[in-house]
Amino acid sequence: MKEITSIDQLAIFGHEPMYKEPLYVGRPNIGSQSGFIQRVNDILERRWLTNNGPYVVEFENKICNMIGVRHCVAVCNATIGLEILFRALELTGEVILPSFTFIATAHALRNQDVTPVFCDIDPKTHNIDPEKVVPLITRKTSAILGVHVWGNACEISNLDEIAKLYQVKLLFDAAHAFGCSHHGSMIGTFGDAEVFSFHATKYLNSIEGGAIVTNNDELAEKLRLMRNFGFSGYDNVVHLGTNAKMTEMSAAMGITNLEFAHDFISVNFQNYHLYRESLESIPGIRILAYDEKEHNNYHYVIIEIDDSRAGIDRDTLMKILHAENIIARRYFYPGCHRMEPYRSMYPNFDQSLPETDGLVKKVMSLPNGTSITPNDVKTVSSLIGFAIRNAAEIRVKLLEREKKLTYQSNLDRYVFPNPTSIHYQDEVGV
């Protein structure tokens, strides 16, 4: 384990970084490279590269069997999956969703001319708060869109009751949640439909890709039409559609990774537990816990930094880690409601989402996955502990450095002024 004993050894103060190569939050899992190449060769020999080929069909069937759902519609990515799902359900008006989500969740609605209405979250789970959903429902509301953040399920039963009471659709963005469960049932079986992401950074990836899963036969049939321009047969277009198809190459990677899914989870689980053991005694650090009675992919190791107890804020800690080539990430900063076009659409949301605004300032995701070793976990944890134990000294040195940089910047402007900034009296009319 690499260890720092003096703040002068920190890379943020000019020392050599602890890691030559970056440690990432979601470096892609590959599974068996030879197994994948064998499938690629088969695809090339068959010359069936896309258009619902045998590997796409196999991938869909494996997902259905794994989670116990009737239909899986594989798509090129989860964002397009959300868009065609919204279109297939003919959503209109407004849809209620959390602001604490990846921006694609909101964009997918807006791209269908549906207005996202942002709801606050439960600060313990980071998921949408059902109690705060009801006041947002209006005559324009057509659906509630929950997001299973970090693979932890939303309060599904409460959201389901609300959706039935107000006769609106219930959908879930399950981008983080493949391989996870809720009360013993696999995520993917709830609501009207759920959407998975198989992006390269997810625990199970198809390079790029996603899937819509549902138990609704009619909806599934419509989705299959819509992902292929609305074609039913060779030259018969029977529905409005687009090109949302998954390629055979992507499906081959997905199938290959499915064969190693248990191994990926085992590594994630081991790292998660080691992070918990290493970080639990550090003041100001809360690590998000998973319910181990449920299935989870343990892909996201999430901590919250309470700067009043830690003596250091999240962003400063992240800069220290980044300087060492430990690429921790803040999620989902600064919240969808503070990004365009929603910031301009809802200027008053600055005061209406206090839990979201608080969380985005303190949450951080730590490196995990098959590229991260137990030694790496201990090193990252040790560095976080060192930074917090020496927070006061680090703050002073950072402030001194900032003053020097500001002084030098001002000096450069004084010695080498920008000619365009010099105004003479007769030029400005005074």
Reply yes or no on whether the pLDDT at 425 is more than 50: no
- The answer to whether residues 151 and 59 belong to one domain is yes
- The answer to whether residues 56 and 143 belong to one domain is yes
pLDDT band at 421 (very low <50, low <70, confident <90, very high): very low
Report the pLDDT value the prediction gives residue 352, as an integer from 0 to 100. Answer: 86
The string of pLDDT tens digits covering residues 132-164 is: 999 999 999 999 999 999 999 999 999 999 999
Report the pLDDT value the prediction gives residue 233, as an integer from 0 to 100. Answer: 86
- The answer to whether residues 246 and 324 belong to one domain is no
Is 338 domain-assigned? no
- The answer to whether residues 142 and 286 belong to one domain is no
- Rounded to whole angstroms, the Cα distance separating 34 from 360 reads 41
- The answer to whether residues 73 and 201 belong to one domain is yes
Is 97 domain-assigned? yes
Report the pLDDT value the prediction gives residue 426, as an integer from 0 to 100. Answer: 38
Q: When comparing pLDDT for 351 and 143, which is higher? A: 143
- The answer to whether residues 195 and 303 belong to one domain is no
Report the pLDDT value the prediction gives residue 407, as an integer from 0 to 100. Answer: 56
For 343-371, the DSSP string reads: HHH-GGGGTT-HHHHHHTTTEEEEP-STT
Domain tally, the chain: 2
Is 342 domain-assigned? no
The string of pLDDT tens digits covering residues 252-307 is: 999 999 999 999 999 999 999 999 999 999 999 999 999 999 999 999 999 999 99
- The answer to whether residues 299 and 317 belong to one domain is yes
Is 193 domain-assigned? yes
- The answer to whether residues 198 and 316 belong to one domain is no
- The answer to whether residues 126 and 271 belong to one domain is no
Is 129 domain-assigned? yes
- The answer to whether residues 152 and 216 belong to one domain is yes
Is 200 domain-assigned? yes
Task: Describe the strand order of the beta sheet including 301-305 as a list of residue ranges.
Answer: 285-287, 301-305, 363-366
- The answer to whether residues 53 and 128 belong to one domain is yes
Residues spanned by the domain of 283: 7-25+261-328+367-393
The string of pLDDT tens digits covering residues 183-222 is: 999 999 999 999 999 999 999 999 999 999 999 999 999 9
Confidence (pTM): 0.92
- Rounded to whole angstroms, the Cα distance separating 424 from 430 reads 9
Residue 42's CATH number = 3.40.640.10
- The answer to whether residues 290 and 227 belong to one domain is no
Q: Computed from CA positions of residues 183, 184, 185, 188, in that sequence, does the dihedral angle turn out positive or negative?
A: positive
- Rounded to whole angstroms, the Cα distance separating 50 from 53 reads 6
Residue 14's CATH number = 3.90.1150.10
